[in-house]
A and B are shown apart, each in its own frame.
Chain A
């Protein structure tokens, strides 16, 4: 195991950090929030030009043959700037589900377009009652003469605004298991309702009322979609966790600087031990969370599925809670200014709150860990 970045990884980190520092200042971000949904197409093209969208895609399909570590590095830096473009939703969740579940022909057709940013696909796996569980699927796909007709709902689809297509999890009538289908975003019978999240990003609620797709819309084999979905979600979970590491880093840096300049009782408030110790606890929380991210990356590289799933859930739970704690304390240590919309620290907390609920809340993942432990123990 090696915790230091290789020179290539360092270059990647530096390039994303330079971009975020330059293009994602607080005012620029505020302007982006007001001008569009989920950032700008211009920024997305820049992500593509810099190779960030293709970093973890296979070389055979226009990618750079990187690993999940690359996605984590990119995401951590994006998290420092609360970047709005849907890197997680489109470049990781949907792209990696496609990598894991698509046929060679489908990958050949779609992945190069995802890699160069010319097409965006979003992953529609969650439903109103599923709370992050990919196996909880009620959306029906009825077979007809030359394809399928879809009925049901998908909730909070990340990266949906601006996506040209969705990967939709469904149950095909008469077929056991979960299937994945590729659905055009402008299909007849598909209603898309945009919803704003607390962090300023937008998602979509999708309603399928007899949406028709051809037989070639099926991703991989019928009934065999869960493995690919889990693979995509694993990458997405790690990426989201890495983003939160970046958000915590920035919150702690900003707060430390503030404590040095804010004076009360005639001294910088960083002189007060109560605040020093709080900062030390926040820093320790961050480093423990970072180690949990490393544990998740290590588990995905080395472990069998039950251990992988347990570690991923542990990571989502522990890092999600750490981010809420650290970013919440960022507000607390700022005092009143931390409550204002015009100051950045509150926005990190909002992202932490949203992230904790996405891809399964920390409570859900805690329950999954508990169930996994019970299975290990045979109780």
Chain B
């Protein structure tokens, strides 16, 4: 155990900073990143990264990725967030991509991987259903073989960004006669296929990320099956176990804290800055301390992941529980910091500004949207309750 800073990691940080400073145009910087960036920006950013040789920052070299270590990935994410670049398509980079690399046929790779690198195809994820949330394996969307096609019928829900996506990766039931996990298959579907309907779900953050996606006799070529029929559940477990250190969304946590510190100096209570108020300063102290601990926990999980130590799973579950709760607490503290104006429903940053600006708008806009959106953090990617169950079983064999 030693806590000397890693000089090579700091050199890498400088390299990323140099790229962001010299090669990324200004209109691709300075954005808030909590929600996904608009489609055109994701695509421009992806092309730019690909030109630099960083088209797949999270993948191994053998798959055309950067081969970065997990700590390097954290540095890259951190610097991109600090610069406010667009987001990448996380669905393909962090979830589907590793699955393609591990399970896809050469034909499937040739079809999909170039589009990942040059940013011309965006993906969404079709896992959850109205009756299959935490109990994902009970999903009912079915795919029936008809010649060299599957015919897909059913409904997926919470399909984030399906309305921007070109393709969807889908869990379907191909066999209803076997144990529920064994009857699931993993299918890639072009969103332009006839029979797919996407309906928006507006969420409490006053935005449209979520959708219901309906499949009505959608014909999918058999060649779009990943792995074998019935292998979908083990592929899903592989996919969900791929990354733990980044679930904390540490760059966003740090941004929230930067903003909260800014509020402390800019906002005033009576004749003093908000930060001078003891009740605020003490709250800031608690959040700051916990963020410091969470940051170090992220480094620990990253290190274990790098070593392929299975302990990264249970520690990753703990990190997910605590970091997502902290996301909620810091964003709530932001609303509280705004005082009365914390109650105002400012227009969403992606929507048009009101003709007559609302008071405090420049500072406060978007804050409540992030805060409300963060209620989802403890639900997606395995709810906090599911994580606690995992921790109890893995750690204590209860």
Whether the Cβ atoms of A318 and B281 lie closer than 8 Å is no
Shortest distance in angstroms between A176's beta carbon and chain B's nearest beta carbon?
29
Shortest distance in angstroms between A17's beta carbon and chain B's nearest beta carbon?
16
Tell me which of A276, A284, A369 contacts B285 (CB under 8 A). Answer: A369
* CB under 8 Å from chain A, chain B span 210-254: none
Whether the Cβ atoms of A279 and B285 lie closer than 8 Å is no
- Indicate if A377 sits at the interface (CB-CB under 8 A): yes
Binds B, one of A3-11, A22-30, A121-129, A337-345: A3-11
**In the complex, chain B residues whose CB is within 8 Å of the CB of A281:** 321, 388
- Name the residue on A nearest B396 (C-beta): A256
* Complex CA–CA separation, A298 to B273 (angstroms): 32
- Indicate if B318 sits at the interface (CB-CB under 8 A): yes
Contacts A283-B391, A370-B278 given; does A6 touch B1 at CB 8 Å: yes
By CB atoms of chain B within 10 A, which of A69, A298, A371 has the most? A298
Question: What is the size, in residues, of chain B's interface with A at 8 Å between Cβ atoms?
Answer: 46
- Indicate if A180 sits at the interface (CB-CB under 8 A): no
Binds A, one of B38-46, B123-131, B296-304, B365-373: B296-304
- Name the residue on B nearest A372 (C-beta): B285
* Complex CA–CA separation, A317 to B281 (angstroms): 15
Whether the Cβ atoms of A288 and B282 lie closer than 8 Å is no
* CB under 8 Å from chain A, chain B span 261-278: 261, 264-265, 272-276, 278
Whether the Cβ atoms of A292 and B4 lie closer than 8 Å is no
* CB under 8 Å from chain B, chain A span 248-305: 256, 259-260, 270-271, 273, 276-277, 279-281, 283-284, 287-289, 291-292, 294-295, 297-298, 301-302
Whether the Cβ atoms of A291 and B296 lie closer than 8 Å is yes
* Complex CA–CA separation, A371 to B288 (angstroms): 12
Whether the Cβ atoms of B315 and A287 lie closer than 8 Å is yes
- Indicate if A367 sits at the interface (CB-CB under 8 A): yes
Shortest distance in angstroms between B71's beta carbon and chain A's nearest beta carbon?
8
Question: What is the size, in residues, of chain A's interface with B at 8 Å between Cβ atoms?
Answer: 50
- Indicate if A314 sits at the interface (CB-CB under 8 A): yes
Chain A contact surface mostly: helix
Whether the Cβ atoms of A318 and B278 lie closer than 8 Å is no
**In the complex, chain A residues whose CB is within 8 Å of the CB of B296:** 291-292, 294-295, 298
- Indicate if B196 sits at the interface (CB-CB under 8 A): no
Chain B contact surface mostly: helix
Whether the Cβ atoms of A373 and B281 lie closer than 8 Å is yes
- Indicate if B348 sits at the interface (CB-CB under 8 A): no
Shortest distance in angstroms between A71's beta carbon and chain B's nearest beta carbon?
12
* Complex CA–CA separation, A272 to B289 (angstroms): 33
* Complex CA–CA separation, A288 to B319 (angstroms): 8
Whether the Cβ atoms of A294 and B3 lie closer than 8 Å is yes
* CB under 8 Å from chain A, chain B span 345-385: 385
Whether the Cβ atoms of A369 and B289 lie closer than 8 Å is yes
Contacts A276-B398, A277-B385, A377-B275 given; does A1 touch B3 at CB 8 Å: yes
- Indicate if B195 sits at the interface (CB-CB under 8 A): no
**In the complex, chain B residues whose CB is within 8 Å of the CB of A284:** 318, 321-322, 391
Q: Which 3 pairs from chain A and chain B are nearest by CB? A: A314-B289, A379-B275, A369-B285
Known: A256-B395, A318-B293, A379-B276. 11 other contacts (CB 8 A): A5-B1, A69-B3, A271-B398, A276-B398, A284-B321, A284-B391, A287-B318, A289-B293, A295-B293, A314-B285, A367-B282
Q: Which residues of B contact A (CB under 8 A)?
A: 1-6, 261, 264-265, 272-276, 278, 281-282, 284-286, 288-290, 292-297, 299-300, 303, 315, 318, 321-322, 385, 387-389, 391-393, 395-396, 398
Q: Which residues of A contact B (CB under 8 A)?
A: 1-6, 9, 69, 73, 256, 259-260, 270-271, 273, 276-277, 279-281, 283-284, 287-289, 291-292, 294-295, 297-298, 301-302, 311, 314-315, 317-318, 366-367, 369-374, 376-379
